[in-house]
Amino acid sequence: MKEMVTLVMGLLVGFVLGAGGIARPHAQAGKKPAYQIAEVEVTDPAAFEAYRAKALETMKPYNVRFLAFGKPDVKEGAPVQGNIAIVEFPSMADAERWYGTPPYHPMIAERQKAAKTRLYFVEGVWQ
């Protein structure tokens, strides 16, 4: 009986240590990505183009990836008024830092004058 308890405890300890070893590579590989998802209905094309050119420059230090931009094919819910943009940031901290600090943060008012937008950040998952 004592041998059975020892065997079961050994298996449990091995399982726990193994599960910890699986999680470790993700933590070492870095943070989870974050995604900016924006619905953009441009109301002043010239002003929006001026804003867009400046906004793209502010993203360069964050090594973002542009994943999608265009009119969505809505299957359920209300129709989208404009386009959807999806941008990947290396982490939620990077996305928040970009959005909340200069040089980008002061530009938000320019975007809001040139377009109706809904903007979200969502944390991704490890692959």
For the CA atoms of 119, 72, 45, 98, what is the dihedral angle to 10 degrees?
30
The radius of gyration of the chain from alpha carbons, rounded to an integer in Å, stands at: 22
Per-residue CA distances from 24 to 30, 31, 64 (Å): 10, 12, 25
The pTM is what?
Answer: 0.73
Handedness of CA 90, 31, 67, 112 (dihedral sign): negative
CA distance 57 to 102: 12
Full pLDDT tens readout for the chain, 127 residues: 444 333 333 333 333 334 344 443 444 356 899 999 999 999 999 999 999 999 999 999 999 999 999 999 999 999 999 999 999 999 999 999 999 999 999 999 999 999 999 999 999 998 6
Q: Are 95 and 34 spatial neighbours (Cβ–Cβ below 8 Å)?
A: yes
d(CA 61, CA 50): 20
